[in-house]
Amino acid sequence: MNIILFGPPGAGKGTQAEILVRERGLVQLSTGDMLRSAIAAGSELGMQAKAIMDAGELVSDDIMIGMIAERMEGADCAGGVILDGFPRTVAQAQALDAMFADKGISLDSVIEIAVDETALFARIEKRAAETGGARSDDNAEVLKARLKVYHENTAPVLPYYKDKGQLVSIDGMQTVEEVSSQIASCLDSVA
C-alpha cells in the first residue's frame, strides 16, 4: 500500500509515519530527512538546499521530483511507501501521479492530519528543545515562513486529491494514539 501523509509543519506526520513503519512494514520516504542527509553529507545539493530550508522556502520541484523518483527505484519500496513531506506543490502531485501511472503503482490514500495552527508554535518549540535544536528551521520565525509557504503552495494540493476522491482528513489535535488509530481504520478500509 502506498500512502501520502499530508499536513502543515509540526502536524505529526513523522510521528505517525514511524508508527506505520513499525506496524505495517511500510517504508517512510521523508523528503525533509533526505534533504537533511544531503546537508549532513556536505553534497552540492545539500549546500544549495540548506539556505532554502533555513528560510522556510521550498526546494525546486525538479530537484524534489528527481529525488523521489530515484528513491522509488529502491527494491525496498516495492512493499509500499509512506510519503511524508511530498508532494508539497500541485506540480509535485502531478509528477507523482504520472510516475505512479508509469510504474503501475497505486496510490491508496492521502491522509491529511489537520491541526490548529496556533498549537504548532508550541509543538515546534518543544521539538527544538527535545532535539537540542538539531533542526535549524525549528524556530518561531522560520515556522511563520513555513506556514506561509504551506498555505500558498502546499494547501492547494488538498483540493487536487479531494477532487479525485482520495483525501481523508483526520483531526490531528487528538492524542498520538487516537490519531494513529484513526489512520489505521482508514487504511484498513482501503486495504
Q: At what angle do helices 61-72 and 90-103 cross, to 10 degrees?
A: 30
CA distance 12 to 6: 9
User: Rule CB under 6 A: is residue 115 a binding residue for ligand ADP?
Assistant: no
Binding part of the chain for ligand ADP, among 21-29, 39-47, 56-64, 170-178 by CB under 6 A, reads 56-64
Cell for 78? Answer: 516495492
User: Rule CB under 6 A: is residue 180 a binding residue for ligand ADP?
Assistant: no
Instruction: Evaluate the omega torsion of the peptide bond into residue 87 and state whether it is cis, within 30 degrees of 0.
Output: yes
CA distance 139 to 172: 21
Beta strands (DSSP E) in the chain are: 3-6, 27-30, 81-84, 109-114, 167-171
Cell for 56? Answer: 522556510
Binding residue for ligand ADP (CB under 6 A) from 17, 26, 29, 64?
Answer: 64
Rounded to a whole number of angstroms, the minimum distance from the CB of residue 175 to ligand ADP is 19
Q: At what angle do helices 140-149 and 117-130 cross, to 10 degrees?
A: 130
User: Rule CB under 6 A: is residue 146 a binding residue for ligand ADP?
Assistant: yes
Q: Determine contact, residues 185/117, Cβ cutoff 8 Å.
A: no
Neighbours of 100 (CB within 10 A): 14
- Using CB under 6 A as the criterion, what x/- string covers residues 124-143 for binding ligand ADP? -------------x------
Binding part of the chain for ligand ADP, among 20-28, 50-58, 112-120, 163-171 by CB under 6 A, reads 50-58
- Using CB under 6 A as the criterion, what x/- string covers residues 73-112 for binding ligand ADP? ------------xx-x---x--------------------
Site for ligand ADP in 1-20 (CB under 6 A): 9-10, 13
Q: Using the minimum distance from each CB to ligand ADP, give the nearer residue, 56 or 172.
A: 56
Which residues are at the interface with ligand ADP (CB under 6 A)?
9-10, 13, 31-32, 35, 52-53, 56-59, 64, 85-86, 88, 92, 137, 146
